[in-house]
Structure 1
Amino acid sequence: MDHLKVGHSVSVAGVVLDDQGRALLVQRRDNGHWEAPGGILERDEDITTGLVREVREETGLIVEPLALTGVYKNMTRAVVALVFRCTTTGGHLTANRESRAFRWADPQEVRTLANEAFAIRVLDAMRPDQPPAVRHHDGTRLLTNP
């Protein structure tokens, strides 16, 4: 029964696209990394509620998820991330205690600003003609399927 003692965290992230097809990246205050806004789901909240809450907390924007674009597992930290392409329905970009800066980025800028494990989430979401991706990483680099 040891498998019951070791659990996974589930996180959500929203890739918000503008009318030019660029993705919103957030620069985190805690580590300076550029990522899509998101975070860990609270135990008692559903996936959509958690997604909307996390994006609003980090950006000030109110979003609506359009599609699941990928499922990603950090093999080092046992975090499974659900990533959604989102549209904005309200709010205004606002720096806060979690986010220091924002940037609308094209695919090349995403590759330059974000580490591989987080860039791929955004790049997958920027391709609307693809089925949801299933990927594994170590927190920085993509891994082949174990």
Structure 2
Amino acid sequence: MGRIDYLHDPDAPPANSVVPSVVAFVQNDSGDVLLIQRSDNGRWALPGGGHDVGESISDTVVREVWEETGIKAEVVDMSGIYTDPGHVMLYDDGEARQQFSICFRARPVGGDVRTSDETTQVRWVSPSDLREFDIHPTMRLRIEHALDRERAAPYVG
């Protein structure tokens, strides 16, 4: 399934759904960040996905990281909540989803990097190399906030 992201674009379709979702800022002991290349749009991103009925939000983080990367993660804390109604994601099936994403910091506790049907590549990336990757501006914002450990409280916006 393909995906097009619209960010404050007057040509964006009106949103017809909101799905609580998570992204995981997983950082290893060397300071590298776990990135995926999405199979639906080819862009690089933090692993993540939709919250399922019957699971806690931290379970969603752990499940999504495992499914998309092969890495077992443990949630450390939350770095932000992102609900910009001007960010709409259009999927091939006609769903036009308004952004609702919670970003969590996590650490790896096991597993080995592998791809999935949602990822074409999975890499540990040094923060100094992040600018070389095609990352959507809204995802870059999540990464910047997660890297900023001096922030007194999680970002809410």
CA shift in 2, pair 1:64/1:116, >3 Å: same
AA aligned opposite 1:132 = P
Structure 1 stretch displaced more, 44-53 or 126-135: 126-135
Q: Do the aligned residues in 1 keep the contact of 2:113 with 2:123 (CA within 8 Å)? A: no
C-alpha RMSD of matched pairs (Å) = 1.7
Sequence identity (%)? 33
Q: How many residues align?
A: 130
1:120 aligns with 2:141: yes
1:129 is matched with which residue: 150, 153, 156? 150
For the residues of structure 1 that align with 2:125 and 2:141, how far apart are their CA atoms? Answer: 13
- TM-score normalised to the size of structure 1? 0.81
1:1-146 paired onto structure 2 within 5 Å:
8-75=18-85, 76=88, 77-113=97-133, 114-130=135-151, 131-135=153-157
Q: What SS does the corresponding residue of 1:45 show, helix, strand or coil?
A: coil
| Amino acid aligned to 1:117 | T
Are the structure 2 counterparts of residues 117 and 51 from structure 1 closer, same or farther at C-alpha, using a change threshold of 3 Å?
same
Task: Choose between structure 1 and 2 for higher RCO, CA contacts under 8 A separated by at least 6 residues.
Answer: 2
* Uncovered stretches (5+) of structure 2, i.e. residues with no partner: 1-15, 89-96
In terms of mean alpha carbon deviation, does 105-114 or 45-54 score higher? Answer: 105-114
Paired position in structure 2 for 1:139: none
